[in-house]
Amino acid sequence: MFYLLQLEWLKQRKNRSFLMLGALYFILLPCSLLIAKSIQQWPPPINTSDTFFRFPDVFIYLGYVGNWLTFLLLGFLSVLFITQEFSSRTFRQNVITGLTRADMFWSKVYFMTAVSLAATLYYGLVAMVLGVIHSDALYTSVIMKHIDYIPRFFVMCMGYMSVGLLLGVWIRRTGFALFSYFSYALFIEPILRWGVHQNLFKHQSMHYYPMNAFEDLAPVPFSEMTKGFEKEFGFQFFLSPQQAMITSVIYIALFLVATYLLITRRDL
């Protein structure tokens, strides 16, 4: 495992796209939330920007910011680091020089897991630092109230990256793979959920699509605004944390199995 991870790191450490996307993530995660400080007045129930930075809500608000950054940056990265293997022909070269196709698959999975773990640890660190600085009193019960967002954040990172990896292996061309990734998440899945599923079968099952399951691991914080929708539809507007976790893990497993089957094909 460590050998394959080391090989992947040697490939990526001088990759400008990887370094740029990683730097953007580390800069934008805290800065995107800190922008709230520049806004003087907020409507109820927020009232003051300090709400974003205090325990335990800092995990919620930072998690939502991280949700978007993970989708945009880490999903983008997962497409790049596999499609570049095909465009530069290093995939075939690595197989010729001794690695198996399974080794190539696992090297990507290990690297994706390492990136997701690093992003999650950074999320937890930023949340803790902001919470300690801005909270008036520090009680263990308050700090730990939303600590479950940390493992949820890791699964969310793995989810978005597994989608990008699958599309990258399937399509192989960076531009088309990125277009498919963003098109599915921003247009195709919402149309399927709201334009098709909701009209044909109004049921909570409309929330079990993959991108929505990943998103519901760190959903929009203003959940009280959805009460009217819940009464209209007769079911919750978001998946519960447990539902989102189980659904996301199942999708990740399915996407990785599909990626393995594609990457071990003879014609790659």
> Of 69, 188, 62, nearest to 126 (Cα)?
62
Give the pLDDT of residue 134. 84
Residue 105 lies in a domain: yes
pLDDT (tens digit per residue) in 19-45: 999 999 999 999 988 887 766 666 555
Give the pLDDT of residue 235. 62
Residue 166 lies in a domain: yes
Number of domains in the chain: 1
Residue 236 lies in a domain: yes
Give the pLDDT of residue 10. 86
The full DSSP string for 20-82 is HHHHHHHHHHHHHHHGGGG-----TTT-SGGGGTSTTTHHHHHHHHHHHHIIIIIHHHHHHHH
Distance CA 210, CA 69 (A): 17
- Residue pLDDT tens, the chain, 268 long: 888 888 888 888 888 999 999 999 999 999 988 887 766 666 555 656 677 888 888 999 999 999 999 999 999 999 998 998 888 888 777 776 778 889 989 999 999 999 999 999 999 999 999 999 888 878 888 888 899 999 999 999 999 999 999 999 999 999 999 999 999 999 999 999 988 887 787 778 888 999 999 999 999 886 545 555 566 556 677 888 999 999 999 999 999 999 999 998 856 5
Crossing angle of helices 16-34 and 58-69, rounded to 10°: 150
Residue 168 lies in a domain: yes
Distance of CA 75 to the CA centre of its chain: 7
Please provide the average confidence, as pLDDT, over all residues in the chain.
Answer: 87
Task: Tell me 245's DSSP state.
Answer: H
Distance CA 16, CA 103 (A): 24
Give the pLDDT of residue 129. 94
pTM for this prediction: 0.91
Residue 202 lies in a domain: yes
SS3 246: helix
- For residue 166, the enclosing domain spans 2-263
Residue 45 lies in a domain: yes
Residue 268 lies in a domain: no
Residue 143 lies in a domain: yes
pLDDT (tens digit per residue) in 65-117: 999 999 999 999 999 989 988 888 887 777 767 788 899 899 999 999 999 99
Note whether 152 and 244 are within 8 A (CB): yes
